[in-house]
Structure 1
Amino acid sequence: MGKGGRAEIKSKPAPAATKQASDSAEWKSAYNPLDPNAPKLPTKGEIKAAIPEHCFQRSYIWGMAYLIRDLIIASAFAYGTSQVLSTDLPSLADPVAVATWVAGWSFYAFWMGTILTGPWVVAHECGHGAFSPNQTWNDIVGFVVHQALLVPYFAWQYTHAKHHRRTNHLTDGESHVPSTKLDNGLSENNERLGFYAAWHEAMGDGAFAAFQVWTHLAVGWPLYLLGLASTGKLDVNGNPLDGRVADHFRPSSPMFPGKISFKIFLSTATTVASVAGLFYISATKYGFLPVLLWYWNPYFFVNAWLVLYTWLQHTDPSIPHYGEGEWTWVRGALSTIDRPYGIFDFFHHRIGSTHVAHHLFHEMPHYNALEATQAIKAFLEPMGLYNYDPTPWYQAMWKIAHTCHYVESDEGIQYYKSLEDVPLSKKKLA
């Protein structure tokens, strides 16, 4: 062990790249708020002034055009699949046929999930008000699309808005809020007392990194919606949760103000009805296997993509997180990272490669985000304030799974640390 990441508290500068990082010539954010010579951050208004005004213009026509494009691609792919694949499981006596069937439906699940992440992104823009100039229309479209993908639209709209308001805040952030060493089962003197720290020691570096990837991509989204992972640490009134579950389904959840209780109820009722409907048609009409193949398998890939984006766009050993008193909105927004996603940018409306622009100005439609990103880069990069990591996303994911496990505390300025740098327990070494 001992390959891992970086994290320092306010009193110390972030150190140079670790062994694992240097071996792969890793990217590192140029901005270090602990550096006394760090540049003064521009205001949001100054950044906005660098972007052409037309980038902020929203269009009913273009918004619907991209959504229709996504749905046409999904429909065509589903039709093509129906012509070459059967939902009937081949005879187990024919292993070649079984292998071909499994490979075919796995191919469909991945690519349909990838394609449907496009409408998911469009519905997410509806929640931000970026889809069209009319928020009522935005909410209608967003509600229909997100609920079809089992997203409680109004609940997630509210918490995601908080994610944007408090990006990289150590206590009042929302989604992918770093856990502390104590949360991970480490004592103040780095004794491995339990939980992740003990699991990591038992599993080893590589297996634990794989476990990190699996928990994020396979079960991260439902756990987050249920309030069991990755939520903030404060309730809607700014009070510590103190063990209360901050889920997305109860109107009384500590995440939500009372004034939106009906919206939360509506989202939850629709989600429950949708799931019940899927099980009903499975039991009475289509069968469980066809519904699993056509709907549920792609659904899990949609979930994996959305968690991947939120994980990778805000996480790196060189990206700071801020406690109360250190956090500012600009600091948080500029802690976002743009990354290359190749062909997936086409399907996902560049949500990962223009994420800095999205966090600075979430009301900007995706079809203008590339031009805005170029303007933002030209303005911020000379100051060392634009984060673009050219590392392929799958390599970045693996690096983060190795290096970004916990922070020292939820105060001051913190960088992620790795359990790989924590000494093994004496019992283990004996």
Structure 2
Amino acid sequence: MTCIITDSGFLIKGNMYRPNHGRHRIVTSFQTAGASYLMWEPLPQCKAKHQRYVLPKRRCETITSVASHVTSRIALDDAQHRKELCERYGFRQIGEPLPDDVTLKNIVDTLPKTVFEIDDVKAWRSVLMSVTSYALGLFMISKSPWYLLPLSWAWTGTAITGFFVIGHDCAHKSFSKNKLLEDIVGTLAFMPLIYPYEPWRFKHDRHHAKTNMLGEDTAWQPIMKTNFDKSPVFRTAIMYGYGPIRPIMSISHWLFWHFDLSKFRPNETRRVKISLACVFAFIAIGWPLIIYKTGIVGWIKFWLMPWFGYHFWTSVFTMIHHTAPHIPFKSSEEWNAAQAQLNGTVHCDYPKWVEMFCHNINVHIPHHISTRIPNYNLKAAHKSLQENWGKYLNEASWNWRLMKTILTICHLYNEERNYISFEEVAPEISQPITFLKRVMPDYV
């Protein structure tokens, strides 16, 4: 039986039954780092003259029960509790709940009109920056000795992530006033990533329309226990996918969502086919040229490794934007747009060079308030949100504790507790999560 003591925020697990003759016990408790234990113990033996009051000891058992913290949505109303969660999860601020009567329009109306203005010079400057930094990265790869290649790949993978952000703005119609030009630039920006532009645009629009809605959001979707229990193979795969390899799990998302025509509406199919043709053309022409000039090893050095770097940033950005133990996913009946976009989105500061190469995609809350804000206006929009809605914002700086929290806690979804770790539901196969908890640093 499992019971939740809501006032204390502890979960107590264990088989509970009424003691019978010969099994009288008392309960003692003790704590270790991160866990509290309850232990059944036999009553002490008494001298003979008192034995008429004490049943003889026939059997004793020790039952340990780990008490893990339970996230309560109501508890976020408490400032002290939010402060404790900040420290525990690696956040700078956890926002208090947004009132139910606040609408998305109320929030949009507080933003300065200037943040919605498209500036062609700034837009093309971002293209020039991405092209230049990517070209410099390729040059660095060509000249680097083997021991400096990881640094060159990190630079180049981050630079090519900027291509994705440019295509991202094109898909949201915030790059140019010329919509045909946006589609062309978006398609070209996605091609080196082998990412079909139109399929991604259709699915990404759904993510914004249904952010953190259970079963509907097309970005990260938590695993439900019913799905987790279906197959041993799936259990093992998802244990790694939502654990050690989660920082590159966007690869599976890319492959699963964007190449299957059956996942799109009939009126979307034509544009999807055009995007797929462009991607396959790059594979058919670009890859052979790279191999012809540099060989298979050159293809790995110049294309594959930067591509992994891009997927690292895409996975990390998307994961942190909407995933934390205190951020709920909700059913369509409970879902509230303003709460999902303002309370359910995380602003995270990264190293300045990452923010520069990736065109402020990490300034994500204003982007979810309105997708019409160009990337170069996101910081001004975020400043406005801080002034008008600051107490409701979730903010962090990229740190080890934040990553460790997501990778070791945010696994299976439970509507009462938000997230349950794999360690709790399947300890016998949770070695990947145990390994992460042991080896990942815990400092902010």
TM-score (norm 2): 0.73
* Separation in structure 2 between the aligned mates of residue 63 and residue 357 of structure 1, nearest angstrom: 18
Match of 1:401 in 2: 407
Per-residue deviation, 1:31: 3.1
**Distance across 2 between alignment mates of 1:103 and 1:167:** 42
Aligned with residue 167 of structure 1, among 204, 207, 211: 211
* CA shift for structure 1 position 284: 3.8
What are the Cα deviations for residues 245-292 of structure 1, in whole angstroms up to 9, with x where unaligned? Answer: xx31233x22x1111211111111221222233442355443111121
Q: Is the 8 A contact 1:29 1:319 kept in 2?
A: no
Unaligned runs of 5+ in 2: 1-34, 36-65, 432-444
Q: Deviation string for 1:278-317 (max 9, x for gaps)? A: 4423554431111211111101111111111111110000
| Residues 305-324 of structure 1 mapped to structure 2, 5 A cutoff | 305-324=313-332
- Name the CA distance, whole Å, in 1 between partners of 2:215 and 2:371: 22
Q: Alpha-carbon deviation of 1:406?
A: 1.2
RCO comparison, higher one (Cα < 8 Å, 6+): 1
Give the match for residue 94 of structure 2: 29
Aligned to 1:387: 394
- In the TM superposition, residue 403 of structure 1 has moved relative to its aligned partner by 1.1
Please tell me whether the aligned partners of residues 345 and 365 of structure 2 are also in contact (alpha carbons under 8 angstroms): yes
- Closer, same or farther: CA 126–394 of 1 in aligned 2, 3 Å: farther
**Which residue of the partner structure matches residue 139 of structure 1?**
183
8 Å CA contact 1:6, 1:417 repeated in 2: no
2:202, 2:215 → 1: CA distance? 17
Q: Is the 8 A contact 1:313 1:355 kept in 2?
A: yes
Q: What corresponds to 1:365 in structure 2? A: 374
Q: Over aligned residue pairs, what C-alpha RMSD do you find? A: 3.1
State whether residues 165 and 358 of structure 2, in contact with CA within 8 Å, keep that contact through their aligned partners in structure 1: yes
Counterpart-to-counterpart distance in 1, 2:383 and 2:307: 33
Q: Which amino acid aligns with 2:414?
A: E
Q: Is the 8 A contact 1:28 1:318 kept in 2?
A: no
1:60-107: CA deviations, max 9, x gaps? 22111111122112223333443x33xxxxxxxxxxxxxxx3322222
Structure 2 CA distance for partners of 1:213 and 1:347, relative to 1, 3 Å: farther
**Partner of residue 180 from structure 1, selected from 224, 237, 242:** 224
Q: What is aligned with 1:48?
A: 108
1:224 matched residue in structure 2: 253
The reply to whether residue 75 of structure 1 matches residue 75 of structure 2 is no
**Identical aligned residues as a percent:** 22
Counterpart residue number, 2:422: 419
In structure 2, the residue matched to 1:102 is: 146
SS at match of 2:302: helix
Q: Residue 197 of structure 1 contacts residue 419 of structure 1 at CA under 8 Å; is this kept in 2?
A: no
Q: What residue number does 2:355 align with?
A: 345
Judged with a 3 Å threshold, the aligned counterparts in structure 2 of structure 1 residues 66 and 26 are, in CA distance, closer, same or farther, namely: closer
Map 1:247-258; keep pairs closer than 5 Å: 247-251=257-261, 253-254=262-263, 256-258=264-266
Mapped partners of 2:90, 2:305: distance in 1 = 36
Contact 1:3 1:19 in 2 (8 A): no
Q: Which residue of 2 aligns with 1:58?
A: 118
CA–CA separation in structure 1 for the residues paired with 2:209 and 2:85: 33
Please tell me the residue identity of whatever aligns with 2:269.
Answer: S
CA displacement, residues 178-215 of structure 1 (integer Å, 9 cap, x when unaligned): 111222239xxxxxx94676789xxxxxxx6x864542
Seen in structure 2, the aligned counterparts of structure 1 residues 406 and 80 have a Cα distance that, compared at 3 Å, is closer
Contact 2:127/2:163 (CA < 8 Å) preserved in 1?
A: yes
What amino acid is aligned across from residue 182 of structure 1 in structure 2?
T
SS in 2 for 1:407: strand
In structure 1, the residue matched to 2:12 is none
Q: How does 1:163-312 map to 2 (within 5 A)?
A: 163-185=207-229, 194=232, 212-218=242-248, 220-227=249-256, 247-251=257-261, 253-254=262-263, 256-312=264-320
CA distance in 1, matches of 2:349, 2:331: 29
CA distance in 2, matches of 1:355, 1:30: 15
In 1: Cα distance, 2:67 partner to 2:159 partner: 36
Counterpart code for 2:369? L
Distance 2:187 2:237 in 1: 40
* 8 Å Cα contact 1:338/1:388 also seen in 2: yes
Q: Distance in 2 between matches of 1:281 and 1:321?
A: 45
Q: 1:331 aligned to 335, 339, 357, which one?
A: 339
Q: Give me the whole-angstrom Cα distance separating, in 2, the residues matched to 1:277 and 1:29.
A: 48
Distance change in 2, residues 1:26/1:76 (3 Å): closer
Unmatched 5+ stretches in structure 1: 33-37, 86-100, 187-192, 201-207, 228-246
The one-letter amino acid of 1:376's match is L
One-letter code aligned to 2:247:
L
Q: Which amino acid aligns with 1:408?
A: N
> Secondary structure at 1:389's aligned position in 2?
strand
Radius of gyration: which is bigger? 2
Question: 1: CA distance between counterparts of 2:99 and 2:134?
Answer: 46
More strand by share: 2
Instruction: Return the letter of the residue paired with 1:144.
Output: L
Partner Cα distance (1:71, 1:3) in 2: 52
